[in-house]
Amino acid sequence: MVSITSTASFANALRRTIVDTQNQVSKAQVEVSTGRVADLGLSLGGAAARDLSLGVRSADLESIANSNAVITARLDTTETALSTIAETAQNFLETLVSTQSGAGSDAKAVQDLATAGLKSLIGALDTSISGVHIFGGVASSTPPIADYFADPTSAAKDALDQAFVSSFGVTQSSDSLATVTQSQMQEFLSGSFADLFSASAWTSSWSTASDRPTTNRISLSQIAETSVSANDSAFREIASAYAMVAELGVTKLGSDAYNEVLKTATTTLSGAIGELTGLRASVGVMQKNVSNANDAITAQRNALAVQIGALENVDSYEASTRLNNLTTQLETSYTLTGKIQQLTLAKYI
């Protein structure tokens, strides 16, 4: 049997070899540059489904980690705001105590401090980060506390002014307030004034925050509360203490009624600071929960990276050697193709 091989058939065979080698070179280049197999489906076969599942889980963990970074920033800002509220309240409490002992400031100075304290409280509760109002609960798109001192008059101030006039028959600027007795002031403070800071009155006149705190998935298996609401009783009581000194005409009151205001404000503020301490502790627990979740996520992601790497990673030395060999083979094929194409019977006739 005679086998006849033409120049053309040699050339075509080499071209197919070159194309195949070029494909292998491309894959080898990808593997050398990325450290991963170039064609996961082809290389892993039946293990590709497991590799995909591991990748999805890793991506889920990464998403939670990114979310936790945002939550951590919000909780840190929350703690800073609570610290400011606590420090301002404590300073005002000390002023109230010293004033009652006879070593403090006059009524106008104390009133001004109360006004500044109420403004500071409102500002802190309206704190936002990246457009999210951290004390709004799930209603975080708008400032939770309206400006009490706004013009036109806020609903909260209207309600307080109306309650005052209803009880005493005059406004807070009237000189006749000098005749208000201690018992009358005590009755007002424990009655219609206290009602202004009940949970229902607070949400109707002062706050648009939601009682429901935000919750977030902080790990694959854990959902946790991650915010504090401006409707918490600690904030209502602090606002009450500031408002009774700032807004009840203390500069016009007689000494007995004035001292009743100071005494009630002191008691109210002291209790509120205790509640605020508990609130700050709860934020600390939230921060710790997120931190622990992040530690667990880091460990899980590292474990997944090892498993994914075992499936996808290539031996960099082997890949480089294979690329060099393929490159040499490709160059040899180019050379042979060129020489074969130069072969022609005309040269030998």
Tens digit of pLDDT at every position of the chain (349 positions): 444 455 555 555 556 666 666 666 566 666 555 656 555 555 555 556 766 787 788 999 999 999 999 999 999 999 999 999 999 999 999 999 999 987 667 999 999 999 999 999 999 999 999 999 999 999 999 999 999 999 999 999 999 999 999 999 999 999 999 999 999 999 999 999 999 999 999 999 999 999 999 999 999 999 999 999 999 999 999 999 999 999 999 999 999 999 999 999 999 999 999 999 999 999 999 999 999 999 999 999 998 888 866 665 555 656 567 656 667 766 666 665 655 555 554 454 5
Q: In this structure, is residue 285 part of a structural domain? A: yes
Please report the pLDDT score of residue 89 as a whole number.
98
One-letter amino acid of 178 = A
Residues 113 and 228 in one domain: yes
Please report the pLDDT score of residue 2 as a whole number.
45
Please report the pLDDT score of residue 166 as a whole number.
97
Please report the pLDDT score of residue 289 as a whole number.
96
Residues 198 and 323 in one domain: no
Residues 284 and 330 in one domain: no
Please report the pLDDT score of residue 54 as a whole number.
79
* Domain extent for 332: 316-349
Please report the pLDDT score of residue 131 as a whole number.
93
Q: In this structure, is residue 167 part of a structural domain? A: yes
Residues 321 and 297 in one domain: no
Is residue 142 within 8 Å of 208, Cβ to Cβ? yes
Q: In this structure, is residue 18 part of a structural domain? A: no
Residues 238-261 as b/e (b if ≥16 CB within 10 A, e otherwise) read bbbbbbbbbbbbbebbeeebbebb
Q: How many CA atoms, within 13 angstroms, populate the side-chain half-sphere of residue 69?
A: 6
Residues 200 and 339 in one domain: no
Global confidence as pTM: 0.79
Distance CA 50, CA 54 (A): 6
Please report the pLDDT score of residue 331 as a whole number.
63
Q: In this structure, is residue 72 part of a structural domain? A: yes
Helix (H, G, I), strand (E, B) or coil at 217: strand
Q: In this structure, is residue 268 part of a structural domain? A: yes
Please report the pLDDT score of residue 144 as a whole number.
97
Distance CA 285, CA 270 (A): 23
Q: Please tell me the total count of domains within the chain.
A: 2
Residues 80 and 209 in one domain: yes
Residues 149 and 284 in one domain: yes
Residues 128 and 219 in one domain: yes
Please report the pLDDT score of residue 52 as a whole number.
73
Please report the pLDDT score of residue 349 as a whole number.
52
Residues 189 and 331 in one domain: no
221 φ/ψ angles, rounded to the nearest 5 degrees: -125, 5
